[in-house]
Amino acid sequence: MLLPLDMMRAGEHAEVAEVAGDPAWVGRLAELGLREGARLCVVQPGTPCLLQVANGRLCLRGSECSQILVRPLCGAE
Amino acid sequence: MTPLPLTVALVGNPNAGKSTLFNALSGLRQHVGNYPGVTVELKKGLATIDGRAVEFIDLPGTYSLAARSPDEMVAVDLLLGRRPEEKRPDAILAIVDASNLERHLYLTTQLMELGVPVVLAVNMVDVAAKQGIGVDIEKLSQSTGLPVVAIQANAGIGLDKLKAAILAAAGTPPPSRPPLPEAIERETESLANELNGSVPTFLARRLLLDIGGYAESWLTTKHGPALAAKLEAARLRLIGSGHPIPAAEAKARYAWIRQVASVAVRKPSQRPVTRTDRLDKVLTHKVWGTLVFLAIMFVVFQAIFVFASIPMDAIKEGFKKIGDGIESVMTPGPLRALLVDGVVAGVGGVVVFLPQILFLFAFIAILEDCGYMARAAFLMDKIMSRCGLSGKSFIPLLSSVACAIPGVMATRVIENRRDRLATILVAPLMSCSARLPVYGLLIGAFLTKDRPFWLPGLALFGMYLIGFVVAPLVALLLKRTLLKGETPVFVMELPQYKRPAIRAIVRRMLEAGWAFLRRAGTLILASMILIWALLYFPNTDASGAKYDAKLAEIAEQAETAEDDAKESLEKQANELRGEWKRNSLLGQFGRSLEPVFRPLGWDWKIGVAALASFPAREVIVGTLGILYDQGDVDEEKEEQLQDEIKARWTEEPERGRYAVPTAFSVMVFFALCCQCVSTLAVIRRETKSWAWPAFTFAYMTALAYIAALVVFQVGRLLVDGGA
């Protein structure tokens, strides 16, 4: 089951399935570690939202989160 | 002959601890390099390792070498040896964060393609260890093929090993680079051939991989549509062969990184809850986080006002002594007046605010160094996005609270051009440290003595709030009109919290203080002397007698006179001084403009001081000092300009009654105007056009006038209503 990232709730874990949108933006996110196959945890949903990606924290806006499709994972990674 | 110093470029992600390492390696022997055509400044530091001179260059923190702008391109060009003013680095020192190694190695994989030896410094191994993350340095070195050293830059641990590794690496063959898919290598090669080897393969690769990047716009402009068509075709072929960019690049690099990390990095199966997680629960919370943020801001401003007053008093005293000393050894005349009233009093009046500036920069450095600044940007993003900006604009705007000049320069982190321009145009609205002298003077004069202890802090907080409120509103207006366009995407990293490094903070403070003093010493001093001259000359009354000679005569009489005669002589001298200033060149000009100032509650003196402060806001303090004869009269020598202004205003019917509204009118004017030549020059430099600084000056002056008008008129009604 794939979900847009902005529909995830606080504390939920997921694996990134697809990052859509402007190539420059997709490239930028990849540099920051947010890419296909990356695991993340939603620290704070909303806009802007706070994500734990690997051992780093990123913040993005809700409108951009909807361009990222994730596969929710049960429990912790 | 001594050999040329080795050149070592420091490269790393933001927050990897790069600046700390740079300072630890190069000590105090640092200077700043400028590059023509771009706005980037790079710090360089010289060190001696084992008798060999080594020059370190601190490149701006970056997540990748995929340059998007000419500024980002400087780092890439420098690393490739394509900047005429720098030789190609002999080695690259790549610094990575041990606790987030995979992400940081992404940049390293690109650095390994440059054809220069790379030394990998794994920083913050102690922080990683606390989180249960272990990095096996030997295995990492084997799997990456790079010399690797574990360090703790903030504690200076591992630096000797690192220095030895740098010396050993210089001159060795470059590392073999992590492979990219065969299809990408092929297309890169054919593009490089297309360019006839005019650019290194590295740039041909960036041309291929960075859609809309700097290499693309630069090279397709240079080589015309034929290249653009070839590039388009190559990218389509990559999609066809299952390597769509930019995903293919990221995939290949992370595949290599995963392989490396699986050998060298040991991680707990479940990520432990870190101190950062716990702190963020509160500090990024919508309600608690915002409250903490506001509380921090209030404490900062109250502390600046209260604690800074101790060294400020000492400085005042010191300059007074210098002035007295000169006066006692020189005969009266234009030269003595120039030295005492123009130079010493003028520079003293500016230097006195150095403690406040140092305090403010200390707070900003602490907040930035401990990682809180990004949280502030996160908290502020929602508000900033409402005015069409992003949380990223918040840091430049907050830096503008110290000084708009670094603030305007800090807008370089904003990738979107319209966002950047909007931020530059509103940055001077933020209450910079040059306004502190104005606020400090007037709040000290009218809102400190016999008032509740919290009032000065609150008033100062209010003045700062003006900038925080008006700047976003103007930005919104600009984004809706002049700078219309689609909203850009926004992503930002929040670094881990760490204990701020005292040395880094002290360094930031000293740099800021020195920059301020240098401005005080040159630009401000020049304008102070000009203003002094405009107020001193013509120095003759209607009958042709010299004012200063007449004043000296009266002073001589007063020395021998009886007590009651003294009083009338005093009065006579004061009247003479007033006449002198009124008849001066600037006084005449200011008086002719008095109808313009009157609705603001200003007299011609305030008007003249405001006019005189065009070069820099803080000049108003020195000018008011001259206009109010601070130090001219013996009994008042110990008194401060504040008491002088307060006393003078009380004497006048208009300003005596409406002293507080007038003070606020002046403060609000200075909160919103753009009386700062340096800011305008920096805006010109960053926008590469005179139109934007001209626009900034015009709109801010208009805004300042209207706001001061409203403040005074409303204040007057309140005073009359309350009476």
- Interchain CB distance below 8 Å, A25 and B489: yes
Binary contact (B270, A77; C-beta < 8 A):
yes
Nearest residue, CB atoms, B491 vs list A22, A28, A55: A28
Listed in sequence order, the DSSP H helices in B412-562 are: 417-426, 436-446, 455-480, 502-519, 525-536, 547-560
B701, two tokens = 């002056």
Tokens 């990606």, residue?
Answer: A53
A61/B490 Cβ within 8 A: yes
Please tell me if residue B270 touches chain A, with a CB cutoff of 8 Å.
yes
Amino acid (one-letter) located at B104: H
B456 confidence band (pLDDT: 50, 70, 90): confident
Window 10-29 of A: residues touching B by CB (8 A cutoff) are 19, 21-29
**B666, B608 Cβ separation under 8 angstroms:** no
Contact by Cβ (8 Å): B219, B199: yes
User: Residue A27 and residue B284: Cβ atoms within 8 Å?
Assistant: no
- pLDDT higher than 50, residue A76: no
- The predicted model gives B92-116 an average pLDDT of 94
What are the DSSP calls for B611-670, one per residue?
Answer: HHTSSBTTHHHHHHHHHTTTTTSGGGSSS-HHHHHHHHHHHSHHHHHTHHHHHHHHHHHH
Q: What is the predicted pLDDT for the residue at A70? A: 92
Burial B583-594 (b: 16+ CB within 10 A, else e): bbebbeebbebe
What 8-state DSSP symbol labels residue B524?
A: I
Pick from B483, B368, B376, B379: which is nearest to B424 by CA?
Answer: B483
Distance of alpha carbon A59 from its chain centroid, rounded? 10
- Judged against a pLDDT cut of 60, whether residue B176 lies above it is answered with yes
* Neighboring chain B residues of A26 at a CB cutoff of 8 Å: 246-247
> Residue B688 to residues B39, B425, B684: CA-CA distances in angstroms?
10, 13, 5
Q: What are phi and psi of B62, to 5 degrees?
A: -150, 155
| Per-residue model confidence as pLDDT tens digits over A25-64 | 888 889 888 988 899 999 988 888 999 998 889 998 877 7
Chain B CB contacts of A60 under 8 Å are 489-492
Residue whose C-alpha is closest to residue B372's, from B401, B394, B343, B348: B394
Separation of alpha carbons B674 and B704, rounded Å: 9
Note whether A60 contacts B491, CB cutoff 8 Å: yes
B284 to A61: CB separation less than 8 angstroms, yes or no:
no
CB contact B287 to A (< 8 Å): no
User: B431, B401, B483: which is closest to B672 by C-alpha?
Assistant: B431
Alpha-carbon separation of residue B474 from B72, B427, B465, B491 (angstroms)? 29, 10, 14, 24
Please indicate whether residue B202 or residue B437 has the higher confidence score (pLDDT): B202
C-alpha B15 chain-centroid distance = 18
State residue B264's pLDDT score: 92
| pLDDT higher than 70, residue B662 | yes
Q: How far is B430 from chain A (nearest CA, A)?
A: 24
Across the interface, whether the CB atoms of A26 and B246 are under 8 A apart is answered yes
Nearest residue of A to residue B214, measured between CA atoms: A24
Strands lying side by side in the sheet with B41-49: B30-34, B41-49, B52-58, B6-12, B91-97, B118-123, B148-150
| Burial (CB count <10 Å: 0-12, 13-18, 19+), residue B597 | buried
ipTM: 0.90
pLDDT score recorded for residue B632: 39
Helices H, strands E: what count in chain A?
2, 6
CB of B349 within 8 Å of any CB in chain A?
no
B249–chain A Cβ distance below 8 A for any pair: yes
Residue B509 reports pLDDT greater than 70: yes
Nearest chain B residue to A34 by CA distance is B103
Burial B689-700 (b: 16+ CB within 10 A, else e): eeebbebbbebb
In eight-state DSSP terms, residue B540 is B
Handedness of CA B652, B653, B658, B664 (dihedral sign): negative
**Residue B285 predicted with pLDDT over 70:** yes
What single-letter DSSP state applies at residue B340?
A: I
Name the residue with higher pLDDT: B117 or B382: B117
Q: What is the dihedral of CA B136, B138, B141, B147, to 10 degrees?
A: 120
Beta bridge pairs of residue B41: B34
Q: Which residue has the tokens 């001061």?
A: B708
Amino acid of residue B112: M
Say yes or no: B272 contacts chain A, CB-CB below 8 A. no
pLDDT surpasses 50 at B399: yes
Q: Is B106 on the interface with A (CB under 8 A)?
A: yes
Q: Please judge whether A26 and B247 are an interchain contact, meaning their C-beta atoms are less than 8 angstroms apart.
A: yes
The answer, yes or no, to whether residue B415 has pLDDT greater than 70, is: no
Picking from A19, A24, A58, the nearest residue to B212 by CB comes out as A24
SS (H, E, C) B235-263: HHHHHHCCCCCCHHHHHHHHHHHHHHHHH
Give how far B280 is from chain A: nearest CA, Å: 9
Q: Is B452 exposed, middle or buried (0-12, 13-18, 19+ CB in 10 A)?
A: exposed
Query: How many angstroms separate the Cα of B668 from the Cα of each of B109, B459, B596, B665, B717?
Result: 52, 11, 16, 5, 17
Q: Does B217 touch chain A (CB under 8 A)?
A: no
Q: What is the pLDDT of residues B292-321, one digit of tens each?
A: 988 887 787 677 667 777 887 888 788 888
User: What string of DSSP letters covers B409-453?
Assistant: HHGGG--SHHHHHHHHHHGGGS--GGGHHHHHHHHHHHTTTTS-T
B249 min Cα distance to partner chain A (Å): 9
Test the A interface: residue of B63, B68, B69, B103 with most A CBs within 10 Å: B103
| Chain B interface includes A55 (CB < 8 A) | yes
Among B106, B254, B378, beta carbon nearest to A59: B378
User: In this structure, are residues B56 and B90 in contact, taking their beta carbons and an 8 Å threshold?
Assistant: no
For helices B641-651 and B659-672, give the axis angle rounded to 10 degrees.
120
Collapsing DSSP to helix, strand or coil, B571 comes out as helix
Sign of CA dihedral B380, B381, B383, B384: positive
In B, minimum Cα distance to A46 occurs at B382
Token pair of B542 as six digits: 């209607």
Q: d(Cα B65, Cα B213) in Å, to the nearest integer?
A: 10
Question: b/e per residue, B75-108, with b = 16+ CB within 10 A?
Answer: bbbbbbbebeebeebbbbbbbbbbbbbbbbbbbb
Chain B positions in Cβ-Cβ contact with residue A32 (cut-off 8 Å): 63, 103, 491, 493
- How many Cβ contacts (< 8 angstroms) between chains A and B? 122
Per the CB < 8 Å rule, is B246 touching A76? no
Residues B198 and B461: their CA atoms lie apart, in Å, by 57
Give strand pairing partners of B183: none
Rounded average pLDDT over B415-439:
85
User: CA-based diameter of chain A, in Å?
Assistant: 33
How far is Cα B79 from Cα B416, in angstroms, rounded to an integer? 25
Question: How much of chain B is helix, strand and coil, in % rounded to 5?
Answer: 65, 10, 25
- CB distance A76 to A29 below 8 Å: no
Is some CB atom of chain A closer than 8 A to the CB atom of B491?
yes
Length of chain A: 77
Q: pLDDT digit string (tens) for B216-274? A: 989 999 988 999 999 999 999 999 999 998 889 999 999 999 999 999 999 888 888 88
**pLDDT on residue B53:** 92
Interface contact B489, partner A, CB < 8 A: yes
Residues of chain A with Cβ-Cβ distance to B270 below 8 Å are 76-77
A14-17: list long-range contacts, CB under 8 Å, 24+ apart. A14/A39, A14/A40, A14/A41, A14/A42, A14/A70, A14/A71, A14/A72, A14/A73, A15/A39, A15/A40, A15/A70, A15/A71, A15/A73, A16/A40, A16/A68, A16/A69, A16/A70, A16/A71, A17/A69, A17/A70, A17/A71
> Are B102 and A33 inside 8 Å of each other by CB?
yes
**What residues contact B54, with CB distance under 8 A and at least 6 apart?**
B5, B6, B7, B8, B46, B47, B48, B163, B166, B167
Query: What is the Rg, in whole angstroms, of the alpha carbon atoms belonging to chain A?
Result: 11
Amino acid at residue number B644: E
Mean pLDDT value across residues B27-42: 68
Note whether B142 and B160 are within 8 A (CB). Answer: no
Tell me the pLDDT band of B29, cut-offs 50, 70 and 90.
Answer: confident
Is residue B598 within 8 Å of B661, Cβ to Cβ? no
Q: Judge whether A74 is closer than 8 Å to chain B, CB to CB.
A: no
Mutation site, A26, A55, A73, interface B, largest B CB count within 10 A: A55
CB B581 within 8 A of CB B534: no
> How many percent of chain A have pLDDT more than 90?
26
Contact B247 A22 (CB under 8 A): no
Q: How many CB atoms lie within 10 A of CB B716?
A: 17
**Helical pair B182-194 and B201-209, crossing angle rounded to 10 deg:** 110
A-interface mutation test, from B256, B380, B489, most A Cβ less than 10 A away = B489
Closest CA to B120 of B3, B326, B260: B260
Report which secondary-structure segment, H or E, holds B380: helix B372-386
Stretch among B75-89, B284-298, B447-461, B643-657 having the lowest mean pLDDT: B643-657
**Residue (of B432, B459, B462) closest to B444 by Cα position:** B459
Residue written as token pair 């394509």: B82
Whether residue B639 has pLDDT greater than 60: no
Write the residue in B212, B254, B385 that is nearest to A61 by C-beta: B385
Please compute the mean of the pLDDT values over residues A59-70 and round it to a whole number.
85
In chain B, the residue whose alpha carbon lies closest to the alpha carbon of A75 is B270
pLDDT level of residue B500 (50, 70, 90 thresholds) = confident
CA–CA distance, B544 with B483 (Å, rounded to integer): 58
pLDDT digits (tens, 9 = 90+) for B522-533: 666 676 678 778
Instruction: Write the CB contacts of B537 (distance below 8 Å, at least 6 apart in sequence).
Output: B584, B585
Asked if A48 lies within 8 A of B391 by C-beta distance, the reply is yes
- Give me the mean pLDDT over the B90-102 stretch: 94
Q: Max CA-CA distance within chain B?
A: 105
